[in-house]
Amino acid sequence: MSAVSKISPQHTRAWWKEAVVYQIYPASFADSNSDGVGDLNGIISKLDYLKDLGVNVLWLSPIYRSPQADMGYDIADYEDIDPRYGTLGDWDNLLKGAHERGMKLMMDLVVNHTSDEHDWFIQSKSSKQNPKRDWYIWRPPRYDENGNRKPPNNWKSIFEGSAWQYDEATDEYYLHLYLDKQPDLNWDNPEVREAVFSLMNFWLSRGCDGFRMDVINLISKVEGLPDVPVTDPTQEYQMASPMYVNGPHVHEYIKEMNLRVLSKYDLITVGEAPFTYTTTGLAAFVLPANLELNMVFQFQVVEIDNSDEGVEGSAPLKYREWQLPELKAIINKWQNLLLDDGFWNAVFIENHDQARSVSRYGDDSPKWRSASAKLIAMMQITQAGTLYVYQGEEIGTKNFAGWPIEEYKDVATQNYYKRVLKERRAEQGKEDVDMSDVLYGCQRKARDHARTPVQWDASPHGGFTDGTPWMRVNDDYKEWNVAVELKDPGSVLAFWKQALSVRKQNDVLIYGDYHLLSPDDEKVFAYTRSLGSSSVLVLLNFGADEVQYSIEEVPQFVGAQLLLGNYEDGTQEHATEKTKLRGWEGKIFIR
């Protein structure tokens, strides 16, 4: 186990707190065998690139054997690698290569649900008497006054439609919060928990260094599975998050996981906790005294542009304009949450479920793309918490533009589009209805923007594959790619390398106290970080217009030295009472 050392009254040092975690979406990272799908050997070929970037931990999105109904988040065998990605031997080689370079490897643990093709579910479905019947959540039908069969309750699947799928052979429904090919496990059954702990030990004994836990806060459902109150009378099925988010036994089960498995290793653990918008709801997973997880992802920053039509999470692809003070308030809340109790943040702005940050929070026009991508990097490297970087973020990858709905691969996007199209055709009584607003939302926010292949160079398909890629490469790959940026000292990639190095050299950026300045300023995001005798002032201009910012709130920073800036000319090496910030300019001063 790690030795415990205090770096401040609130924080103890830990390797996983100081780590830079790089998320790899394997299908889109690098293809070594020309079949158009990224694979483990492709990742191995890029280990030196990742080490040079400043990465400490590689997080792999699911690579287990899977029918790929939801890009591997539907797992048919937890103890084998899907052939599209390679073999267990390839995984062993990847682990060895990472460890030889001083990097660690974490796996994606998806145990709220399995694939309907997993042997557990095949047995469970085979008969009501099967010993694994109770490994999943089965319920008999309901019938209306006319004798029509109905699902057991009115819960809506997160991916549209009912959250229940009927099985004719046994005349019961099974619960699936996501796709019907992703039946939910019954965590109330101790045999299920035992099986999960066993599969975790399989990977840990093989050398895995930690887990990211998919939708881990959904594993415990409300007793009795009652109807959820109707919030959208136009829909037969209702968003049911109150019935399964942070449910009655979730902390009991994760404490058991920690006791039985996690506590026996020196790991990095991070939980994905969607649909949770209260600090207390998330903190309980993280506080050291609770003995659960190292940290969880909170989604308020990446859902700031959601328009939820009255229910949180109901319309993730409907875009809403947001203002900078909203972003400041969210970050300030989490940066200052329960510090005395040891709460620790997971800092991220991109992942496989989020559109590209330069397109959502910055300005991806040719003039401002580079500067705003660098500014977003500065915002992240100056926050307390473990830093997560998503593949392609380090080169300023932007959303693709102008693709028709047929080119979107993601099942969540397709289901949402089909649902709205069906509703509009019914409402308007015609086939040809206007869907431009839905396409606009997809263009801004769809998950597919994160899943286009990495743009390695200017060769066909961005150097991702010699074959036909499973998904089209972003059209700008010839001008915007890793090879070009490696040669350009002013590139987004070069800046990320510098920024990560600055973060690692300054404990104040990882562990320091966070103090927000000018919370209502609609153009400049300003804050300080302080740890012992070291203090940092961060000034970020979130817009194309030049602004003057007065540091009268923190006069002690007059004369402070410039630590990092995203303009190459190096003007203003020291802070002054009034600081000029050009379009999308960021400056970090240290004293």
Q: If pLDDT is split at 50, 70 and 90, which confidence band does 281 have?
A: confident
546 falls within a domain: yes
Q: If pLDDT is split at 50, 70 and 90, which confidence band does 568 have?
A: confident
525 falls within a domain: yes
- Please state, in angstroms and rounded to a whole number, the distance separating the CA atoms of residues 561 and 580: 15
Q: Are residues 555 and 578 in the same domain?
A: yes
- CATH number for the domain harbouring residue 280: 3.20.20.80
Residue 310's pLDDT is 54
- CATH number for the domain harbouring residue 537: 2.60.40.1180
Listed in sequence order, the residues at least 6 apart from 137 whose beta carbon sits closer than 8 Å to its beta carbon are: 174, 175, 183, 184, 185, 186, 221, 225
Q: Are residues 382 and 261 in the same domain?
A: yes
Q: If pLDDT is split at 50, 70 and 90, which confidence band does 430 have?
A: very high
- Please state, in angstroms and rounded to a whole number, the distance separating the CA atoms of residues 138 and 235: 24
pLDDT > 50? residue 484: yes
Catalytic residue among 214, 312, 394, 448: 214
Tell me the three-class secondary structure of 363-376, residue by residue.
CCCCCCHHHHHHHH
Range of the domain at 434: 411-445
CB 238 within 8 A of CB 252: no
Residue whose tokens read 């993601």: 410
Q: Which one-letter amino acid corresponds to residue 435?
A: M
Lowest mean pLDDT among 106-120, 275-289, 376-390: 275-289
pLDDT > 80? residue 309: no
Q: Is 214 a catalytic residue?
A: yes
Residue 570's pLDDT is 64
Q: Round the average pLDDT of the chain to a whole number and report it.
A: 95
Distance, CA of 99 to chain centre: 24
Q: Are residues 433 and 454 in the same domain?
A: no
Q: For 238-255, what is each residue's pLDDT tens digit?
A: 999 999 999 999 999 999
**Can you read off the two tokens belonging to residue 460?**
């066909």
334 falls within a domain: yes
Q: Are residues 91 and 230 in the same domain?
A: yes
Residue 28's pLDDT is 98
Helix (H, G, I), strand (E, B) or coil at 541: strand
Listed in sequence order, the residues at least 6 apart from 524 whose beta carbon sits closer than 8 Å to its beta carbon are: 518, 539, 540, 541, 542, 547, 549, 581
Helix (H, G, I), strand (E, B) or coil at 346: strand
Q: Are residues 138 and 88 in the same domain?
A: no
**Average of per-residue pLDDT across 44-53:** 98
Q: Are residues 266 and 363 in the same domain?
A: yes
Residues forming beta bridges with residue 578, ordered by sequence position: 550
Q: Are residues 50 and 80 in the same domain?
A: yes
pLDDT > 60? residue 142: yes
pLDDT > 60? residue 124: yes
pLDDT > 60? residue 50: yes
Contacts 24+ apart (CB under 8 A), 138-141: 138/170, 138/172, 138/173, 138/174, 138/175, 139/164, 139/172, 139/173, 139/175, 139/225, 140/171, 140/172, 140/173, 141/166, 141/171, 141/172, 141/173
pLDDT > 80? residue 122: yes
Q: For 533-546, what is each residue's pLDDT tens digit?
A: 999 999 999 999 99
7 falls within a domain: no
Q: At what angle do helices 190-206 and 88-100 cross, to 10 degrees?
A: 60
Listed in sequence order, the residues at least 6 apart from 410 whose beta carbon sits closer than 8 Å to its beta carbon are: 71, 446, 447, 448, 451
Q: Are residues 88 and 129 in the same domain?
A: no
Q: If pLDDT is split at 50, 70 and 90, which confidence band does 10 have?
A: confident
Catalytic residue among 272, 350, 394, 448: 272
Q: Is 236 a catalytic residue?
A: no
Q: Are residues 354 and 277 in the same domain?
A: yes
Q: For 329-359, what is each residue's pLDDT tens digit?
A: 999 999 999 999 999 999 999 999 999 999 9
- Please state, in angstroms and rounded to a whole number, the distance separating the CA atoms of residues 534 and 240: 47
Q: Are residues 204 and 246 in the same domain?
A: yes
- CATH number for the domain harbouring residue 155: 3.90.400.10
pTM (2 decimals)? 0.95
Q: If pLDDT is split at 50, 70 and 90, which confidence band does 313 have?
A: low
292 falls within a domain: yes
Residues forming beta bridges with residue 314, ordered by sequence position: none
Residues forming beta bridges with residue 541, ordered by sequence position: 524
Q: For 359-414, what is each residue's pLDDT tens digit?
A: 999 999 999 999 999 999 999 999 999 999 999 999 999 999 999 999 999 888 99
**Average of per-residue pLDDT across 207-211:** 98
Nearest to 452 by CA among 430, 434, 474: 474
pLDDT > 90? residue 9: no
- Within 13 A of 509's CA, how many CA atoms are on the CB side? 27
406 falls within a domain: no
**Average of per-residue pLDDT across 455-463:** 98
Residue 411's pLDDT is 86
Q: Are residues 84 and 142 in the same domain?
A: no
503 falls within a domain: no
pLDDT > 70? residue 1: no
Distance, CA of 462 to chain centre: 24
Residue 4's pLDDT is 59
Q: Which one-letter amino acid corresponds to residue 290?
A: N
- Please state, in angstroms and rounded to a whole number, the distance separating the CA atoms of residues 523 and 541: 6
239 falls within a domain: yes
Q: Are residues 456 and 311 in the same domain?
A: yes
**Can you read off the two tokens belonging to residue 171?**
């005349």
Q: What is the DSSP string of 134-160?
A: GGB-EE--EE-TT--EE-SS-EEPTTS
Pick from 175, 199, 217: which residue ends a domain? Answer: 175
Number of domains in the chain: 4
Q: If pLDDT is split at 50, 70 and 90, which confidence band does 571 have?
A: low
Residue whose tokens read 């007793």: 223
- Extract the runs of DSSP E, i.e. beta strands, from 155-294: 155-156, 164-167, 172-175, 210-213, 238-239, 268-272
